[in-house]
Amino acid sequence: MFTHLVSRFTRLSLGVLILAVLALALPGTVSAAYPTFDIIDVKADQSVTIRTYNFPANMRFIIRMDVSASGNRAENGIAVAELNTGLGGSFEATIMIPAQLKGTSTIAIRLDSAEGFFAYNWFTNRTSDVVQPVPIPVTGAKPYLTFTDVKANESVTVEARNLPANTTFTVRVGPYSTFFRDYVTAPSIRSDANGYAVWTISLPSVVKNVEMITVRIDGSGRYAFNAFKNVTGGTTGGGIPVTSGSCQVVSATPTTSVSAGADLDVAWTVKNNSTRTWNVSSVDYKYVSGASFHKRGDRYDMRQSVKPGETVKVVVDVVAPNTAGSYTTNWALVEGSSTICSMSYTLRVR
C-alpha cells in the first residue's frame, strides 16, 4: 500500500498545448496528446513540485524517483506516491523526496499508469535551482514545433510558432529514448517579429540510424520540443503514429499539404489494443484542444463497435484555414468522461 504524499493537486486551465509527442526528460515537457510535466519548484532533500499537461482523466499514476544517471528514467525507481488525475489535463502536485535519495545531486522522476501512459523528467536536488527554465506567464498560445521535411540521416526542416518575438533560441537534437543524456547542441535560431522561425538542421552523428529523433529549443524562459521519425518525407502532415496501453493510432491522413480553404476529411485509423470492446453505444470521439477547423459540433458518435485487435477509421469533416501554416488539432476517443485514446493531427496549409 503506497502512502499518499501528494500535498498539492490544483487544477489549472488547459489552454493551448505545445506540440510534443513524447514524455522525455531534458526538463520540461508538454505534448499535445501525451502526458508530460515540468519541474517548477524544488526544496532540497524535501520535495519537488511538478506541473502536468495532457494527463488523461480519472486515471491512477504511480510516482517513482531514482538517481538520475546514465539515462535513468526511473522506470524501476522507488515508488514514493500515487495520485488520481481527476479531471485530467493540467494540474500541480508536490511530491516528497524519499529518504533513500536525500543528498543525491540529481533525481529522475517518473509517473506511470497501468494503462500504459507515462511521463518522466529530472531535477537538481537544490533549493530554488531548477534545471529547466521556468515558463514565464504569458497570454495566448504556447510555443510549438512542427517538422515540414525530413531526409533520413541527413536533415530536418523545423517550423516554430508562438515564440517570443526577436528572441534567440538554443537548439538541441538527440535520440528520443536517451535525449537528456545524448543530445548535442545545433546552431541557434532567432524568431522574427511575429514569433515565427523556420530552419533546417543537419542531423548530427548521434542520431544517425536512430528511429525517433527529438528537437528542443530554449530561450528567454520559453521552450518547445517535438519528435519525428527518421524517414525521408518526414511528417508533412498528420504526425507520428502513436501507441498507448489501450490504443494505437496507426495512421492519420491526409499526409500532404492542402490548399487554403480546402474542404476535406481528416481521418485517423485507430487500433483497439485493450482487452475489451469499444461499444458503439458508449464510445464517442470529440475535439479536445488546439486548432478548431472542423465543420460541426465537438462530439461525434462512433460508426461501429471495435473489438480488441480490430481497427476503426475516425473521420472529421474540416475546412482548411485561409492562412498558410501548420495547424494542430487534438481529439480523443472517450467513454463518458474517460479518455480511451488521444489523437492529434497537424494540417499543413500552403
Q: Where are the alpha helices (DSSP H) in 265-317?
A: none
Q: Read off the C-alpha cell for 68.
A: 538520475
- Answer with the one of 72, 92, 124 that is the final residue of a domain: 124
197 alpha-carbon distance from chain centroid: 20
Distance CA 119, CA 29 (A): 9
Residue 250, number of CB atoms within 10 A of its CB: 14
Q: How confident is the model at residue 72 (pLDDT cuts 50, 70, 90)?
A: low
Query: Can you give the residue range of the structural domain that contains 174?
Result: 144-229
pLDDT tens, residue by residue, 140-168:
456 778 777 788 899 888 888 888 889 99
Q: Where is pLDDT greater, at 131 or 71?
A: 71
Q: Do residues 224 and 142 touch, judged by C-beta distance below 8 A?
A: yes
Average pLDDT rounded to a whole number, residues 210-225: 84
Q: Are 125 and 105 in contact (CB under 8 A)?
A: yes
The 36-43 sheet, strands edge to edge:
9-11, 91-96, 47-53, 36-43
Shared-domain flag, residues 105 and 15: yes
CATH of the domain at 173: 2.60.40.230
pLDDT in tens, 189-209: 998 887 888 888 999 999 999
Q: With 0.75 as the threshold, say if the pTM is over it.
A: no
| Range of lowest pLDDT (23-27, 98-102, 191-195, 329-333) | 23-27
What percentage of residues in the chain have a pLDDT greater than 90?
16
- For residue 237, pLDDT over 60 is answered with no
Domain assignment present for residue 93? The answer is yes
Whether residue 184 has pLDDT greater than 80: yes
The verdict on residue 130 lying in a domain is: no
Report how many domains make up the chain: 3
More confident residue, 44 or 29: 44
Amino acid at the residue 52: T
pLDDT digits (tens, 9 = 90+) for 280-333: 888 899 888 778 899 888 888 888 999 988 999 999 999 999 988 878 788 888
Task: For residue 120, give the CATH number of its domain.
Answer: 2.60.40.10
Nearest 10 degrees: Cα torsion 298, 303, 305, 306: -80
